[in-house]
Structure formats: structure tokens, C-alpha cells
Chains A and B, each alone.
Chain A
């Protein structure tokens, strides 16, 4: 498989990259880790005239906590996220999710910005990012804007990005207190893309009631979705395992997941429930340890 010819541009700074995008936008593709773009080009499904390589923009590779926000630069790799002390401490859900992406080679190359921009309906991060109520920061020569991940991903491989824009950062609000979380990913074979993935987050109040419950899912819809029925069912309760059993059944409410050679719509719905249950049970036990 050989891609059609293209011109490779290698900006040395974010500003230069943005100028190139302003000039070539519609005809250009940004290249980060290349683990989604290059296969598409080899299949000749993507045929950019220009490829703008972001690898030199070290300024977009960072993980920082500032005020009540965790900021992750778009070029941060999955393995950097997986092994970040800061994230393991302050946002373990994102680190855990990263650790379950593909295999080590993929995690060493792939970036969070590339994953969000690519918006594969089976990608792992989106489940966690909608549960965390994260935002995507987009920049172009005309300025900067921030969009909720849940609004940014519009459908399979479809996002709210302008051809002149570049993702610079993912912003995650810090969650304090007795927090527990878990990302459950169903694969048949090790290192595969998820059939279904569910990220759960529970925050317990002083008296043990669930102040906040968030459940984000991937693989069950056009893009990541929150299981709001489950969240509502559990918030404000002193959650027991039976509550979780009951609430998880709502995870598939209103879903109409795709059927394909890997799994039927029915099975995906059942798995949304099964994994929601697993993720909530783990999240609850984590949260209880911290309460």
C-alpha cells in the first residue's frame, strides 16, 4: 500500500504551523503520531496535497495542573499520559484509559490531539473525556476557542474543527475529594480497538452519598455519549452494589449502536450495561477508599 504523492511541510513553531494551515487548510492534513492518518493515506482514503508534520512542536507536549484545570498538550503521547505521575495522582481515569489503548508501539506514537481529531467511534479517550467534562482547545491564525469534547465530536470521524484550526490542548476540570474512577474496555483479542468502552467516575460526599456520577461510553453510538439515566439514578444515593446492578440496566437506554462484523447492535447494548456495571463497581470501591 503506497500513498499518492504529497508535499511534506515541517513547521518549527506553532505560529508557523497555523500560518501553513491558513494557507493550505482544506488541502492539508496535520500529522501527529501518524497512527491513524498514515494507514488512511496508504489505503488512499486520505489524499492530502500537503502534510504538515507537528513533531517539532515540543511546546504542544505537556501535562500541567493550573488552578482547577489539568491541561494536556495535543502532542502528548498515550504512553506519556499513561505514565504521568501528575495524572495518576490527579486524574487517574485519563491515565488508565491511555494505558488501555492499542499496544505499546501505538501508545508510544499516538497522541491525544490526534485521537480526538480523528474521532474514531471506537476510540478510548472520548469515553473518559466526556465523563470528565473535558474541553478541546482549538487555535487558528484568527484566534482560539474552547469546545466541550461532547460537542466537538459530532459523529464517526466528524468533528467541529475548521480546516484552519489545530487542537492545542485538552482541558480537564480537576475533581477533588473522595473520587473513584475506572475505564472498562471490552476487546476480544488483546490490543484491539474497543467493542465497547465505559468510563465511570464517582465522587462521594462526606456522608457517603454520591455527589456526582459520570458515565461516558464509546463504541455504542456515532460518538461518545454519557449514560445520563444511570447518572441520575445514582446521584444523591448512598450507592450499593444492588443500586449499581439496577442502574446499569439504564446504560443502553435510547442507544442504537451500530452492527458490524465485530458485534451486533444488540450485543453492544448488552455490553454497555455490563461494562457500566463493572466500571461503577470499581469506581465506587476506589471512592470509598478515599472517603
Chain B
């Protein structure tokens, strides 16, 4: 096939084809779904983080007028199998059986004619608990005698693994310098604009479920696997989703209980979470800490790395692999050949941990980038020079890092040098030095990252070229606001040589396409796009057969260009795809695309910050990025992803933190207590530069969804340290709050004047 990059769409910064219906209010989010006779569910949740359920009395609640059902574990015990996890732990029941393990765990569900009545009745459900001592701090959870969260596990450290390469003892004994630090990224909440919700309807044969999810196929499969008496047919629909950020990947208890209720009661049922509820009932992210040492020579060659990574998995270890990702990406962009990392996943009495934009890579990259800055300061070296001296070189690609990740391609040192030029780092640093001389606390920080995309087993696409010339693309990808449909349409329009107006993209419905995987891990344009291209190629192949017949030439005689086949030796013999579609009643292809190995985007980000001396407040004044995203199918969408990720990363370094009280109650349960940044907190402009190192995907895409959230925390953290020079202040954790900066300034001020 001729290059897909010669058309007018691919590479153009088109506005999103998704937007018109969103802007005109025609979107249908979960709460817009209203079915006749629909009932409303409210979950009754545990006010204790750790307790035995002694008894549940639903009689008062059931008697309330308008209440249709009140169910507890006993009522659904035989109907839904519990979740069993891959690491030692007790099962998680869709409604707690005899024990609750986190504040907010669902214990009962009330179904009523309207949500007000359901909420009234929920207050009347009387549950007797015997509180157990909770443990919220993962370090305390590791101590002997700490309250045990899972009876089946021999300790709260339910996951343990280590990775190594080379000889770390040797490296540390040869080292001139060893730096060591403790770093952490605190627990955060994804805070999508739309909380979760589920609607289910059963017509006696088919169960239809709408869920604000990223993984409708997983949900369908879970219903089929976990229901002891599953319906003969299940269709899961992902309506418009108002943001997800990874937190809508898991299949949740409510995703199964609400459909079961619809089947049991014979009426449609809706559950739509409130924001407060979403704070406890939707997975949290990050919550990983590390103790790390780097061994280096005097002239800045990093010889080895030693680390212990500890992830707080919360009450159920469904996503125990998250700290593992942090551990394995821990050498970042650097060629470190001796290493040892131990990973621990610890259960505590908190909402379960789950994926959140970056899922392990932000943590690993924050840790290594902070350590490299620390080493640079210790050695008195320019952090850029230190990075350049240790980076994996292009001739080493593909490069297997110390802990087993195989970086596919890229010129890391070249990219860093280019970033230093593009960002005008020298001028900026000079400016910052001068401003500091005048008393302003401004600083410039730079970070470099490598991360992983294109994961997951496969993605699917079903493309139809109608006789009318319209093109329908159905994908297994499940975007939740990223704009991938526009990118897919751009690919299709160029490959088919047609106008983008002719193309319609649909997704998020297991009734439209039977098999699919979904949108997460920055995979959609890479893997989902790969599937779309493969389907289009299939169509062209079919068309070529028809064209050969119709033009009476051999298939190999035909050249395909922009929607038409031309016979090479008799160029007057031409036929368009459209003619072929019309003559054949349309062409279609259903494919699975296997992404093969993962790809590794990389790049450099720079932040300029100002710290207010009297309050410790930090403001990000400017931000620049250079990212190797492979081919940017639509640079406007790419920019949107980078800016959004950067602002989320900014929130994580400066404001966001899930806080539990010592006795296990969630204290941050509203958006006024939990600091999601707004546009007013972001820099006025993020200067985005893109670079393109091709990948093995046909369209050479690398992936972009998570890089902002990965790169921003270490860049901003460094900028803060620079702003506070010459004080030796270190940013060891996210978030770093004004109060802490103020305290550090006060302490330093006592020692000498700022």
C-alpha cells in the first residue's frame, strides 16, 4: 500500500469531529439515560474502615413507601461470585459478607422508585458493626502485630518481588559517591468530571448494561463469568464518558450488583454516584514510596542503583502490579547496568489502589529523576550534563533495561540536547539567576522520561465502505474524551482517498463489535489505530480483487492511489473504490490488530516556577515540552493530551492528596478539600514541541496519553528546588504544600538569610 502519510488529513491539526454533539448538548452521559419504569439504587456503605458485620436489619428501610428492595450479601450470595485476586488475600464480595476492609465499602443496596426515597431508606438500614483496629499507614501495616487485613495472607505484604541485573554490591563498593533518599508520591484520586454510574435493563432474554467505564468488554465478560445464572445475552454500552483517567478500568461491585438487581426485579435500575461517594468507591492512584541509592564515580558515571519500592494497595490487591511498573521503569533513560530493586505491595484499610494516568510510570520516573538531580547536586555537576553522560545511547537500541523492560528506539541524548536548545535553557537559567538576585524566588527545572505504551493483547476494528461512499468504522477502543475518533477518521480518509465528512466512527458497544479491549495505557491511537489501518488494508485488498476482475487485468498490474486503482501499463484503465463499493454492494473487513511489543515514548519537560516567599505558595509560570510521540496523526489532539496531563501532574505536585485520619476515615471527600487544579492554576500556555521517531506500528505512532502526568512532577519539583537556591531544599514527595515550603524557608532563614 502506498504511504498513508501522503493525504491531506494525517498530520493535520483538525478540530475534533466528536465536538459538535458535545457542544450542542446532544451527548448522553450515564445520568442522561432514563428508561421507563426505571428504579434507583443507593448503596449503603461502611462508616468503619475495618469491622465485623454483626447484623443487618433492613426492616425499617423496606417498609418505607416507594422502596422496592433492600439487599445485603445474603440476598445475592448465590448469584454473584466474589472477586479472587492473584496474590494471597480474602475474596472481595460485591456486597461485604461478614467483614468490611475500607471506609465506604458497600454493605447493602436500596432500590426505590426515585433516588430521594432510596436515600431516605438507606438511612434506615441499620447495621451493627464490631469495629476492628484499622491500619492506614503501610509502614505500620508491615509491623509485627499490625492488624491483619486478609486472613488468607500471612502478612499485609501480599506482594513481594525483586529484580536485578549485574552486581550491585560490586557497583556500590567501587563507587566514589553514594546518594540515598526516601521519596514518595502520595495517594490521589482521578477526579473525572463525571463520577461513575451504571444503568441496567433486562427484557427476559437480553441484559443491557450502560456503565461509565473504559472497559465494556471486560464488564460483559465479568457478568458472564460471575453470574451463577447469566442471561442468554449481555450487551454492555459505554455511553459518553466524562473522563476516566484509568479509574474506570476496573469492573466494580456496582457494575455487577445493578445488573443483577435489574434481572431480579424485572425493572430497569440506575445507580449514579455522588462526588462524595466516588471519592470512596472509585480506586485511588499512586501511593508509592521508595528508598533509593545511586552509586556513581566522581566524574558522574552512575554505576548502580539499589531500591525498595513500597506500594499501598489499599484494602483489596486487585492492582498489585502498579508498584511493579514503578520498579521496572526505575532506571529511566539511563544506562545503569547494576541494580537491585525489591517491590512490596501492602494492604491497608483504604479504598483499593488502581490505575491512574501513568500507572506506575509517573512514580518510577519521579523517583529516578529526583535521584539524578540529587546526584548532580552532590557532585556539583550540571544536571543536564550528568543526564547526558549516563543516557542509553541510540546505538544501544533496542535496549533492555536493568529490570527487564525493552526500550524500542530513540536518541535520548540527542533529544535532551535538542530540548535544551528549543527551551532556551541557558537563557532561562540566566534570567532566573538574575531574578533571584533581585529577590524573586524563581526557578527552572528539567526532567527526562521514558515510558511504556501499546500494551494489551490486541485491538479490533470493523470497517464498512457502503455503496453510497459512506464509511463506517466501529472500534474496540473505548475513548473517554481524548478525540481518537477524529484521528481514526483522518487515517481512514487518507487511506481511502475520501473526505472526512464521509466517515463515521463508533465505539463502546459490545453489541456493535463483539471483541475489543479498550482505551487505557496510551494505546488507542497506536493499537486501535493499527486495527483501523489493518481493516482498511483488508478492504483495499478485497477491492483490488474486484478491480482486477472489473478492469480485466492482473491484480499485480493495479496500482492503488487515493481511492482509485490504475492499471500500471494502461493508465486509462481506472476504477475508484466507490465504483467498486457500488458494484459489489459494499466492502467490509473485521480485524484484530496485535500490537506485538510495547513502544516507549520519551522526552524532556521544563517548568518555570515562582515561590512566594511569605506564604510558600508555588505558581507555575511557564512550561515547555519536547516529546517523541512517533507520528502525530493529529497534533492538536496530541497537544491536548500533553497539556491535560501536565496540568494533572501539576495538581499532583502542588495540591492533590487523599488524606485519611489515623482511624481510617477519608477526610478529603469533596472537591473543596481535594485540590484538583483549574485552568486558573495552570500556566497560561504550555509550549509543546513534538519529535517523531518511528515505531513498528504501520502509522508509526508511539502514544501520548500519559506523558504529561509522567514528566510534570519531576520537572516542577526541580524548578521549586531551583527557585529556593541557594538553600538546599529538597522536594522528596508529592504534593509539596505551601505550608511545607514555608516551613523549610523559615528553617533555612534561621540558618542564613534568603
Contact = CB atoms under 8 A, between A and B. Distances in A.
B467 interface: no
A277 B738 CA distance: 18
A1 B668 CA distance: 17
Contact of A267 (B668, B677, B678, B739): B739
Interface stretch (A10-18, A51-59, A217-225, A256-264): A256-264
Contact of A261 (B116, B276, B667): B667
A180 B654 CA distance: 34
B742 A270 contact: yes
B115 interface: yes
Q: Which of A4, A43, A270 has the most CB of B within 10 A?
A: A270
B131 interface: no
A221 B615 CA distance: 19
Interface string B578-610: 000000000000000000000000000000000
A38 to B, nearest CB: 13
Interface residues of B, number: 31
Nearest to A262: B673
A26 B697 CA distance: 70
Nearest to A43: B276
B615 A189 contact: no
Contacts of A44: 119, 123
Interface stretch (A64-72, A155-163, A190-198): A190-198
Nearest to A3: B116
A189 B675 contact: yes
Interface string A260-290: 0111100100110010011000000000000
Interface string B656-687: 00010000000110001101111011000000
A188 B735 CA distance: 12
Nearest to A186: B615
Q: Which of A2, A190, A263, A270 has the most CB of B within 10 A?
A: A2
Contacts of B677: 189
B120 A189 contact: no
B614 interface: yes
Interface string B116-128: 1011100100000
B614 A192 contact: no
A5 interface: yes
A274 B668 contact: no
A267 B740 CA distance: 9
A190 B614 contact: no
B655 A189 contact: yes
A278 B617 CA distance: 15
A136 to B, nearest CB: 26
B615 A271 contact: yes
A190 B619 CA distance: 11
A2 B681 contact: no
Given A274-B614, A274-B615, A5 B116 contact: yes
Interface residues of A, number: 24
Nearest to B118: A2
A190 B116 contact: no
A190 B680 contact: yes
B668 A261 contact: yes
Q: Which of A4, A262, A277 has the most CB of B within 10 A?
A: A262
B274 interface: yes
Interface in A41-84: 43-44
Contacts of B119: 1-2, 4, 44
Contacts of A188: 617, 654-655, 675, 737-738
A60 B573 CA distance: 83
A191 B681 CA distance: 10
A193 B675 CA distance: 12
A189 B681 contact: yes
Contact of B116 (A2, A186, A193, A267): A2
A107 B677 CA distance: 20
Given A4-B120, A188-B737, A190-B678, A267 B655 contact: no
A261 B659 contact: yes
B272 to A, nearest CB: 11
Nearest to B677: A189
Contact of B274 (A1, A261, A263, A264): A1
A277 B614 contact: yes
Contacts of A264: 739
Interface in B65-99: none
Contacts of A277: 614
B739 A263 contact: yes
Interface string A1-34: 1111100000000000000000000000000000
A77 to B, nearest CB: 20
Contacts of A186: 615, 617
Interface of A: 1-5, 43-44, 186, 188-193, 261-264, 267, 270-271, 274, 277-278
Lowest 10 CB-CB distances: which A-B pairs, in order?
A: A190-B680, A274-B614, A2-B119, A1-B274, A267-B739, A2-B116, A189-B675, A261-B659, A261-B667, A2-B115
21 contacts: A1-B119, A2-B115, A2-B118, A2-B119, A4-B119, A44-B123, A188-B675, A188-B737, A189-B677, A190-B678, A191-B678, A192-B675, A261-B659, A261-B667, A261-B668, A261-B673, A262-B673, A267-B739, A267-B743, A270-B742, A270-B746
Given A1-B274, A4-B116, 20 more contacts: A1-B119, A2-B116, A2-B118, A4-B119, A4-B120, A5-B120, A44-B123, A186-B617, A188-B617, A188-B738, A189-B678, A189-B681, A190-B680, A192-B675, A261-B673, A263-B739, A267-B742, A267-B743, A277-B614, A278-B614
